[in-house]
A and B are shown apart, each in its own frame.
Chain A
């Protein structure tokens, strides 16, 4: 029954995602993509567990490599999104 529960969570979050993202204006689509890049780095949670399991070498190697890639996504994704949003927020310097 575990799979039914997780599928339930999956479907509901997918629908929630559709509702949320539909309201995001076109101006923010690029930051949205880099921001979701960072969120997809959540796989780091699984990577950490494999990397630290210490039992089978193969798991540790794969886990550690996955930690590297996922961290790039998380750190790079959030930082570049912040950089972009900072530019979007900046007040206009028009002719006065």
Chain B
């Protein structure tokens, strides 16, 4: 049998396994097997590719796979669940750079005249192929540099706050214009040396940086989702370069997934994608009117007495819970409350944390059963029946200004209506405003009690009170 026919038949099976794997991700009970099925699709794709006739030298392939596997195994074992956003961000970047390199490598066999010493390049007459290569370089480059910046911001290697770069739009527009010119020259063979090609790579990398640098931490769920989509689309466009349907199918599945997550995140913040990328939300200090009311403070013992009397409690976790690593003690408290005949639920806002589903994974690590997690829309209707709402390190997602203050920058964003609960207890380190820099009138509310301190220590003390 023709070897390439065989390889392509296996690729079809591999694509089907990816699809089946994703389908099984629709339920937590089958998700793990789905992941295995997807992985087996990848394994047979890799093994089959090794049969490709064009391969004459295996040593570099195996060296690459061994190095990559060691790093991959190490990274996946060492990573803390709180660090998942960083890991996904850097992996998006790796996908982007790998696609960029494959497209770049595909260029060389096509060149009609090539001399590596002089860097002299005469473009191929295959315009369509050159266009797909440039496309892959663009998407891959933006994904790589953008993801690196996102990674640095998430891991606090550079400050995670939003920056307002003067003339950001002007600079980005210039880069885009230059990219168009150089790409045009390259695709249509006007370029006479490799400068144009290198310029496209450098400009794509610059564009990724300048697009992500101004975006602040609270908008990271949107950025990571979008870059996730881009890493898939990069693989997809490499599929066009190599005429490989498997790359196209797998890449577009990832592209679609990232786009849907991006859409969900934008909707949960009531903002458009353009607004997230171009507005540097929260970088300007807000001049909101001073909120009337007094902040009421409680101590551990008072909180304990309130919780002991409560029959229903809703916990609203936010990024602060991840920072304090409080997920395990939260579960301990949950168990004690339930022993005390109290119904405990967790209300999860879609953009709580730094990536889609961040809170769910953290609570799962803390052994909180996922049946206890409810989504925003489901809990809001019954909030008035809840005795106590405990807010752990969340701020903007529970700010009533989103409902009743039209001048607020977050007006219109769907929130968890904790102000309707009997009592609201806010665990917070200080009165500092949330990520967006907006004052939260909830803290001054009639039924709000503030419990200051590190979330983990505070909950530990509460647990101790319950046990004594």
Contact = CB atoms under 8 A, between A and B. Distances in A.
Contacts of A14: 252, 255-256
B359 to A, nearest CB: 9
Contacts of B164: none
Interface in A3-56: 3, 6, 9-10, 13-18, 20-56
A51 B60 contact: yes
Interface string A37-80: 11111111111111111111111101111111111111111111
A68 B67 contact: yes
B60 A29 contact: no
Interface size class of A (residues with CB under 8 A): 35 or more
B94 A72 contact: yes
B245 A65 contact: no
Contact of A78 (B29, B38, B101, B235): B38
Contact of B335 (A6, A59, A94): A94
Given A31-B25, A50-B105, A71-B67, A66 B228 contact: no
A24 B249 CA distance: 19
A21 B252 CA distance: 12
A45 B46 contact: yes
Contacts of B99: 43, 66
A74 B360 contact: no
Interface stretch (B69-77, B185-193, B280-288, B420-428): B69-77
Contacts of B336: 95
Contact of B46 (A44, A69, A93): A44
Nearest to A35: B35
Contact of A36 (B52, B228, B339, B364): B228
A42 to B, nearest CB: 4
A93 B366 CA distance: 10
Interface string B261-286: 10010000000000000000000000
Contacts of A46: 102, 106, 238, 241-242, 244, 247
Contacts of A47: 64, 98, 101-102, 105
Given A66-B101, A71-B68, A87-B361, A42 B55 contact: no
Given A64-B64, A69-B68, 8 more contacts: A9-B248, A29-B356, A36-B254, A54-B55, A55-B109, A58-B108, A67-B64, A91-B369
8 contacts: A17-B257, A38-B39, A41-B235, A42-B235, A49-B54, A64-B60, A87-B364, A88-B28
Interface of A: 2-3, 6, 9-10, 13-18, 20-60, 62-95
Interface of B: 18-19, 21-23, 25-29, 31-32, 35-36, 38-39, 42, 45-46, 49-50, 52, 54-58, 60-61, 63-65, 67-69, 71-73, 75-77, 79, 81, 84, 87-88, 91-92, 94-95, 97-99, 101-102, 104-106, 108-109, 114, 116, 128, 224-225, 228, 231-232, 234-236, 238-261, 264, 334-336, 338-339, 348, 350, 355-358, 360-361, 364-365, 367-371, 373, 375
